[in-house]
A and B are shown apart, each in its own frame.
Chain A
Amino acid sequence: MDNQYVFIVLPSSNIKVVKLQKDTTVSLGKFGTFHTNDIIGKPFGHSYEIYDRDKIKVIRNVAFYEVDDSGANNQETIDDPSKQKLSYQDIEQLKKDGMEGQDIIKKVIESHSSFDKKTEYSKAKYIKRKESKFSRVFTPVRPTLYSVWEYFFAKNPSKIRDMRIDTLSQMLTISNARAYAKLLVVDDTQGLLITGVMERLGGSYGIVLGIHDGEYHNYDIVRYMNFSKKVNDSLMVLSWQQIFKEESPFNYQDESKLSQKDLKFYLRKKANYEKVQEARKILWKGGFDGLLVASQYQPESILDTLVPYLAGSRPIIIYHINREVLVNTCVHMRISGKFLNPQLTESWLREYQVLPGRTHPSMSTSGGGGYLLQATYTSTIT
Chain B
Amino acid sequence: MYFLSYKTCIEEGDLVIAYISRENMTPLIMDPKLTYNNKFGTFRHSDMIGKEYGTKMPSHNGRGFMYLLHPTPELWTHVVPHRTQILYIADISFITTYLDLKPGSIILESGTGSGSFSHSLARNIAPNGHLYTFEYHEERAKAAKQDFERHGLSDLITIECRDVYKEGFGITDLVHAVFLDLPAPWDAIASAKAAFKQKRIGKICCFSPCIEQVQRACASLNEHGFVEIKMFECLIRNQEVHTIPVYTVKDAVSKIKVQQDKKRKRNEEEASNSKAAKSPRIKQDPPNLYVSKTPTEAKGHTSYLTFATFLPVLDDEIEIIDKVNELD
A-side interface residues toward B, CB under 8 Å?
43-46, 58, 61-64, 142, 144-146, 165-166, 168-170, 172-174, 176, 178-181, 196, 199-203, 205, 287, 289, 311-315, 323, 327-328, 330-331, 334, 340-354, 356, 359, 371, 376-382
Contacts and interface: CB of A to CB of B under 8 A. Distances in A.
Contact of B234 (A166, A176, A312, A354): A166
A58 to B, nearest CB: 6
B84 interface: no
Given A178-B126, A354-B306, A380-B54, A169 B312 contact: no
Contacts of A196: 97
Nearest to A168: B97
30 contacts: A61-B227, A62-B225, A63-B226, A146-B97, A169-B97, A172-B96, A174-B93, A176-B123, A180-B5, A205-B127, A311-B52, A313-B69, A314-B70, A323-B239, A330-B290, A331-B243, A340-B69, A344-B240, A345-B236, A345-B238, A346-B239, A347-B234, A348-B90, A348-B237, A351-B231, A352-B214, A356-B219, A376-B54, A382-B58, A382-B65
Contacts of B310: 45
B96 A173 contact: yes
B291 interface: yes
A312 B53 contact: yes
Nearest to B291: A327
B239 A173 contact: no
Contacts, number: 215
A341 B226 CA distance: 43
Interface in B218-250: 218-219, 221-222, 225-241, 243
Interface stretch (B36-44, B100-108, B145-153, B278-286): B100-108
A145 B105 CA distance: 14
Nearest to B202: A45
B311 A46 contact: yes
Given A173-B74, A347-B234, A378 B103 contact: no
A357 to B, nearest CB: 9
Given A46-B314, A354-B215, 17 more contacts: A45-B201, A45-B227, A62-B222, A62-B225, A63-B222, A166-B93, A172-B93, A178-B126, A179-B126, A313-B54, A314-B70, A327-B241, A340-B19, A341-B22, A347-B90, A350-B234, A379-B54
Contact of B314 (A58, A174, A178, A314): A58
B165 interface: no
Top 9 nearest A-B pairs (CB, nearest first) are A312-B54, A202-B103, A313-B54, A43-B312, A313-B53, A169-B93, A45-B201, A169-B97, A173-B93
Given A344-B292, A347-B90, A351-B231, A376 B69 contact: yes
A343 B90 CA distance: 14
Nearest to A333: B241
A144 B100 contact: yes
A348 B238 CA distance: 10
Contact of B238 (A44, A62, A344): A344
A179 B90 CA distance: 21
Nearest to B316: A58
A349 B234 contact: yes
Given A61-B311, A359-B215, A352 B231 contact: yes
Nearest to A178: B123
B92 A173 contact: yes
A312 B52 CA distance: 7
